[in-house]
Structure 1
Amino acid sequence: MTRVIHTGDTHIGYRQYHSPERRADFLDAFEQVVADAVDDGVDAVVHAGDLFHDRRPDLPDLLGVLSALRTLDGADIPFLAVVGNHESTRGGQWLDLFESLGLATRLDDEPTVIGDTAFYGLDHVPESRRDALEYEFASHDADAAVLVSHGLFEPFAYADWDTETVLAESTVAFDAVLLGDNHTPDTAQVSGAWVTYCGSTERASASERDPRGYNLVRLGADAEAGDDAVDIRRRALETRPFVFVDVELAEGEGLDRVRDRVRERDVADAVVIVRVTGDGEPIAPAAVEEFAADRGALVARVTDRREVEAETELSVSFADPDEAVRERIGDLGLSEAARDVDDVVRGDLPDSNVREEVKRRIEDRLDGADGVGPADGDGEPGDAPDDGNVGGDDGVAANAPDTGPEEDSPATDQDGDGQLTLGDSR
């Protein structure tokens, strides 16, 4: 029997709510996974992508991950992983660097055998490139086979990847598919294989109310009592508390009622999310946030879901206001980059994520990336650029030129901005 921890979507480096404490929380959660792996003596830690939140992690986050991987290496526990959409670069991946240091294995179309189980990897691949995929994997002689991948697979929420097609066209019969990208843990059986998401290890969004954690997976003929070769158990992590305060204001109720509801909860060192509904009086979100901060909250955010109805009816007609705005912007003669930023500012992203997404898109243009997509810092799956592929000797897509530094210097601070960029380390 092979016992592994299945984790993913650790998003290390995410400075949620612009809070340095929240940034540290994401690394802390990953370190908890590593500590559990050592204490439990598992055979491997399998990471299903988005180890980092950004493809250009800051040095403290990079050093923190290296320290955690050295802890696993010291306990003789292999770290097996694939590349997610958030951390993908056009050249070599950070995972390649860790592999060159002997601290990780980047899974691909060749089997990596741990115990009596063969592990394979499929990096995140944008939907537009999937029709060209050939799910050809080298044969193995292990008792069980597992595919590790990053993407939105059926039959789970937001799915755009047909799991049945992957399993049917693969040259290896997989007993389990261990996934990352969807932050909600879930498990289903598809075409005889167990398919599971481990969920994120920290709350990357206020929509992620359930406890965070990872999967403990047992593989092999004697995985558990019974005939099934796969057993999946959920384990919770101790993460920073999120306190959700839902307030429905009756007519005549206002700020005092909201404060009373916050006062009822233990908000010390917590992220406090207040959601206001009902027919009560208008409130000032800043007053609620300040009140929560005075009671020891790390961060407080207020969302007022109410719609204020005008006392008088106004008759205003636009043929297509969005089109009118687009035409006016077109008349301004803005550059493509400026229009890209305008799309983000006027798009559907939450206000708290706009600055980070603009920064991501500008960095992608400066680095010569071939496309960008929305960040998923709000917890929804994203489409950041990815060069994922099935296997390959150099670990990058065949049509992706190597724009990084020379091979003898895989990590350099080319910009002088204190951030490392990675070339092709293979």
Structure 2
Amino acid sequence: MTRVIHTGDTHIGYQQYHSPDRRQDFLDAFDAVVDDAVDDDVDAVVHAGDLFHDRRPELPDLMGTISVLRRLDDAGIPFLAVVGNHESTRGGQWLDLFERLGLATRLGREPVVVGDTAFYGLDHVPVSRRDELEYAFEPHDADYATLVAHGLFEPFAHADWDTETVLEESDVAFDAMLLGDNHKPDRATVTDTPVTYSGSTERASASEREGRGYNLVRFDEDAGGGDDRVEIRRRAIDTREFVFVSVELGEGEGESRVREQVRQHDLGDAVVLVEVTGEGDPVTPAAIEEFATDEGALIARVTDRRTVETDDEVDVSFADPEDAVRERIEGMGLSAAALDIDETVRSESVADTNVRETVKSAVEDRLDDLDAFVAADDGESNEGGPDDGDEGETDADSEPTTDGQVSMEDYL
């Protein structure tokens, strides 16, 4: 029997709503998972990608992560992981650094056996490169085998990866697929194989209303009773409280009505998200947000869906304009050099007076790498995962794009 914690999408380093407290929350959530792993003495922690929110995590995020992983290592519990789209770099991965430190194992085509289960890995691969993939894995002699992968797999929401193809074309018969990328915990059965998402460990967007947690997976002939060989149970973790307030204003109703509805909730240290609909009077989002924070909220954001009159459904949100800008830029197919310039210009860590010189230096550093000036669709590659026809390498990320991302050596 093998018992593991299946987690993923921890997004350490995400300063949601530009709040340092929220940034710490993402590391704390990962820490809570490791606490449970140590307390329960599981055989391994399996991470399905997006350990970090960004390909350039800052030093406090790296040091905090290393500290958490050291506790896991001290308890003799291996940390097995794949690379997700948010954290993937053009060169070596941060996961490789942790592996060199003896704190992690990067999963790939070769089996990593824990107990009586062989674990394999499939890093995120952009849609444009998946037709080239050959799901070739090295054989194993364990009782069970599972594939850990990062991507949007069928039959789950927003799917763009054919799970049945992966299972049927793989030369290893997998007893389970443990997935990351979809932040909603979910499970299904594909060709008699249990396929599951652990979900994110913190709420990375307002749409993630359900509680956060992870999966506890047991590989055992009698795990689920009958012929089932894999048992998957959901476990919750305590995270920052989110308070969702929906206010439909009637004729003649306005800010006082919104305040009244907000006041009915316990706002202490919570993230408060207010949605206003209906036919009532105009409201000032900033005034409502100030009121909520005065009532004890850590963060308050107001979305007034009546702001724009159009035949199409348009959401006007004050939640995090930086995320909206980032999402738009990532979808433009810019070159790696252009993405680096954009990141430099918008970075909070680069003083305005240093932007010009920093951008100039970044461009000069890339002059020997003409591929960095090619549109992102052309793709780069990084190690890990099954054979894609290029000496066993798979492409780096597609969303957000990772072409031209710096290696750890460049970063350090």
Aligned to 2:22: 22
Percent identity over the alignment? 66
- Measure the CA separation in 2 of the matches of 1:142 and 1:226: 21
Aligned to 1:390: 385
Flag the 1:210–1:360 CA change in 2: closer, same or farther, 3 A: farther
**SS of residue in 2 equivalent to 1:214:** strand
Say whether the 8 Å CA contact 2:211–2:236 is kept in structure 1.
Answer: yes
Q: Please tell me whether residue 82 in structure 1 is matched to residue 79 in structure 2.
A: no
Superposition deviation, residue 254 in structure 1: 0.4
Flag the 1:124–1:369 CA change in 2: closer, same or farther, 3 A: farther
Aligned to 1:213: 213
Flag the 1:391–1:92 CA change in 2: closer, same or farther, 3 A: farther
- Measure the CA separation in 1 of the matches of 2:28 and 2:256: 36
Aligned to 1:2: 2
Say whether the 8 Å CA contact 2:381–2:393 is kept in structure 1.
Answer: no
Aligned to 2:369: none
Could you report, residue by residue, the CA deviation over 1:295-325 in whole angstroms, capped at 9, with x for unpaired residues?
1111100001125669xxxxxxxxxxxxxxx
Flag the 1:274–1:182 CA change in 2: closer, same or farther, 3 A: same
Q: Please tell me whether residue 53 in structure 1 is matched to residue 53 in structure 2.
A: yes
Superposition deviation, residue 242 in structure 1: 0.4
Say whether the 8 Å CA contact 1:124–1:389 is kept in structure 2.
Answer: no
Aligned to 1:276: 276
Say whether the 8 Å CA contact 1:85–1:386 is kept in structure 2.
Answer: no
Q: RMSD between aligned alpha carbons?
A: 2.8
Aligned to 1:72: 72
Aligned to 2:332: none
Counterpart of 1:206 in structure 2: which amino acid? Answer: A
Aligned to 1:100: 100
Flag the 1:284–1:181 CA change in 2: closer, same or farther, 3 A: same
Say whether the 8 Å CA contact 1:118–1:142 is kept in structure 2.
Answer: yes
Counterparts of residues 405-420 of structure 1 (less than 5 Å)? 411-412=408-409, 414=410, 420=411
Flag the 1:13–1:391 CA change in 2: closer, same or farther, 3 A: same
Aligned to 1:186: 186
Aligned to 1:125: 125
- Measure the CA separation in 1 of the matches of 2:26 and 2:51: 10
Superposition deviation, residue 361 in structure 1: 6.7
- Measure the CA separation in 1 of the matches of 2:142 and 2:280: 64
Superposition deviation, residue 396 in structure 1: 5.2
Q: Please tell me whether residue 362 in structure 1 is matched to residue 342 in structure 2.
A: yes
Aligned to 1:285: 285
Relative to the length of structure 1, the TM-score reads 0.79
Superposition deviation, residue 69 in structure 1: 0.7
Say whether the 8 Å CA contact 1:371–1:385 is kept in structure 2.
Answer: no
Structure 2, gaps ≥5 residues long = 311-318, 330-338, 345-358, 367-371, 397-401
- Measure the CA separation in 2 of the matches of 1:386 and 1:13: 24
**SS of residue in 1 equivalent to 2:160:** coil
**SS of residue in 2 equivalent to 1:287:** helix
Flag the 1:202–1:404 CA change in 2: closer, same or farther, 3 A: closer
- Measure the CA separation in 1 of the matches of 2:268 and 2:107: 42
Flag the 1:119–1:371 CA change in 2: closer, same or farther, 3 A: farther
Aligned to 2:234: 234
Counterpart of 2:168 in structure 1: which amino acid? Answer: A
Aligned to 2:34: 34
Counterpart of 2:321 in structure 1: which amino acid? Answer: D
Say whether the 8 Å CA contact 1:88–1:388 is kept in structure 2.
Answer: no
Superposition deviation, residue 352 in structure 1: 3.9
Could you report, residue by residue, the CA deviation over 1:20-48 in whole angstroms, capped at 9, with x for unpaired residues?
00000000000000010000000000000
Counterpart of 1:183 in structure 2: which amino acid? Answer: H
Q: Please tell me whether residue 173 in structure 1 is matched to residue 200 in structure 2.
A: no
- Measure the CA separation in 2 of the matches of 1:391 and 1:119: 13
User: How many corresponding residue pairs?
Assistant: 362
**SS of residue in 2 equivalent to 1:95:** helix
Counterpart of 2:385 in structure 1: which amino acid? Answer: V
- Measure the CA separation in 2 of the matches of 1:239 and 1:88: 26
- Measure the CA separation in 1 of the matches of 2:269 and 2:141: 51
- Measure the CA separation in 1 of the matches of 2:161 and 2:373: 24
Q: Please tell me whether residue 139 in structure 1 is matched to residue 119 in structure 2.
A: no
Could you report, residue by residue, the CA deviation over 1:367-414 in whole angstroms, capped at 9, with x for unpaired residues?
7486659xxxxxxxxxx9874642579985489999967xxxxx45x5
Superposition deviation, residue 203 in structure 1: 0.2
**SS of residue in 1 equivalent to 2:301:** strand
- Measure the CA separation in 2 of the matches of 1:285 and 1:19: 18
- Measure the CA separation in 2 of the matches of 1:147 and 1:223: 18
**SS of residue in 2 equivalent to 1:87:** coil
**SS of residue in 1 equivalent to 2:248:** strand
- Measure the CA separation in 2 of the matches of 1:401 and 1:86: 12
Relative to the length of structure 2, the TM-score reads 0.82
Superposition deviation, residue 179 in structure 1: 0.2
Q: Please tell me whether residue 351 in structure 1 is matched to residue 346 in structure 2.
A: no
**SS of residue in 2 equivalent to 1:259:** helix
Flag the 1:282–1:360 CA change in 2: closer, same or farther, 3 A: farther
- Measure the CA separation in 1 of the matches of 2:53 and 2:395: 25
Say whether the 8 Å CA contact 1:214–1:235 is kept in structure 2.
Answer: yes
Superposition deviation, residue 227 in structure 1: 2.2
Flag the 1:397–1:386 CA change in 2: closer, same or farther, 3 A: closer
**SS of residue in 2 equivalent to 1:215:** strand
Superposition deviation, residue 202 in structure 1: 0.2
- Measure the CA separation in 2 of the matches of 1:161 and 1:196: 14
Say whether the 8 Å CA contact 1:112–1:119 is kept in structure 2.
Answer: yes
Aligned to 1:339: none
**SS of residue in 2 equivalent to 1:243:** strand
- Measure the CA separation in 2 of the matches of 1:128 and 1:29: 33
Counterpart of 1:362 in structure 2: which amino acid? Answer: D
- Measure the CA separation in 1 of the matches of 2:160 and 2:406: 31
- Measure the CA separation in 2 of the matches of 1:93 and 1:254: 51
Aligned to 1:154: 154
Counterpart of 1:301 in structure 2: which amino acid? Answer: R
Aligned to 1:259: 259
